[in-house]
Amino acid sequence: VSKAPPRKEKAPPEVPALITDKERNTIYEKGRFLGKGGFAHCYELKNRSTGEIVAGKVVPKSMLVKQYQRDKMTQEVQIHRELSHPNIVKLFNFFEDPLNVYITLELCARRSLMELHKRRRAVTEPEARYFTHQVVEGVLYLHDLRIIHRDMKLGNLFLNDDLVVKIGDFGLATTVDGDERKKTLCGTPNYIAPEVLNKMGHSFEVDIWAVGCILYILLFGQPPFESKSLEETYSRIRHNNYTIPSNATPPAAALIRRMLDPEPTRRPTAKQVHRDIFFKSGFMPTRLPVSCLTMVPKFG
Ligand SMILES: COc1cc(C(=O)NC2CCN(C)CC2)ccc1Nc1cc2c(cn1)c(C)nn2-c1cc(Cl)cc(CCC(N)=O)c1
């Protein structure tokens, strides 16, 4: 990614109404603003020749001033572009113009599990099984490719029109060589595992920890270590200080306890989670109606 002239802080990016991908001779019409995250603003982009609508992440080059920022972005794209799985957001293209870097991605029209959580709080156990099982299928695919996502959270679990879950945002992802333990993590994961806090080296188990937090929130309506301050939350994580509500079913409680084990090597692998009795211990829908985004479903 080539350098751009420095610019004043925090101004929204100048995004042209027509965005051209010169290499592929494709022109996109900028649509509505979808949201922002990190350095990126996201818009609906309409491919002028095919009419296809995609999610376009726009990062002003003026925000990528340091080489390590450009390298991080390049690594995010290099990892993400190789992936192809029904529970992983598809990355289509990556291109730039003098002002911005653009990444075109699979549009997930029903936003993410974060918005569903804010609207519904705790969901039913069949819904929690349905969503978590798809997240685990995506994590299994990544771990088989020796990729750790490292920032699994509700806001990165996107939903398409069929409420299929798609893991997105590979901004903190990395690849593991052999049995190495990663020593550094540039960024702050939302559901951060104790071994990352204690800087003891970390690996695939951090994603299992995050899936444990996600299942906990879906079933009980709030994060396991939620506190008033970040320091308090980190202290609770370090002390593994959380409780499972008494109304939890035994298979759910047992699986969450194993995924939130403070000792990473005692946590189940993605394969073991995928086969866990929790997913067989009750009804798991094969699809969900979009009404689930706003109200408790009545299963037949
Ligand atoms: C139609 O599809 C979407 C709609 C909306 C939406 O309705 N956002 C509204 C826009 C108006 N404001 C006032 C409220 C949020 C939000 C996201 C959509 N889809 C959508 C958004 C997507 C993706 C796929 N699909 C991917 C991949 N990355 N991003 C992405 C990227 C960034 Cl930088 C920021 C955000 C916003 C945070 C979030 N988790 O929603 C999302």
Distance in angstroms (rounded) separating the CA atoms of residues 245 and 239: 18
The answer to whether residues 75 and 81 touch, using CB atoms and an 8 Å cutoff, is no
- Which value does ipTM take for this structure? 0.98
58 lines ligand 1 (CB under 6 A): no
Ligand 1 site-directed mutation target among 30, 32, 42, most atoms within 8 Å of CB: 42
The residues that bridge with 42 in the sheet, in sequence order, are 35, 57
Residue located via tokens 């290499």 = 23
Compute the mean pLDDT over every residue in the chain, rounded to the nearest whole number. 95
Q: What is the pTM of this model?
A: 0.94
Length, in residues, of the chain: 300
Q: What is the mean pLDDT of residues 35-60?
A: 96
Task: Give residue 101's pLDDT band: very low, low, confident or very high (50, 70, 90).
Answer: very high
- What tokens were used for 143? 């771990």
- pLDDT (tens digit per residue) in 240-285: 999 999 999 999 999 999 999 999 999 999 999 999 999 999 999 9
Is residue 8 pLDDT above 60, yes or no? Answer: no
Instruction: Tell me the catalytic residues.
Output: 151
Q: What's residue 136's pLDDT? A: 98
Is residue 187 pLDDT above 80, yes or no? Answer: yes
Rama region for 101: left / alpha / beta (φ>0; ψ in -120 to 50; rest): beta
Q: What's residue 3's pLDDT? A: 72
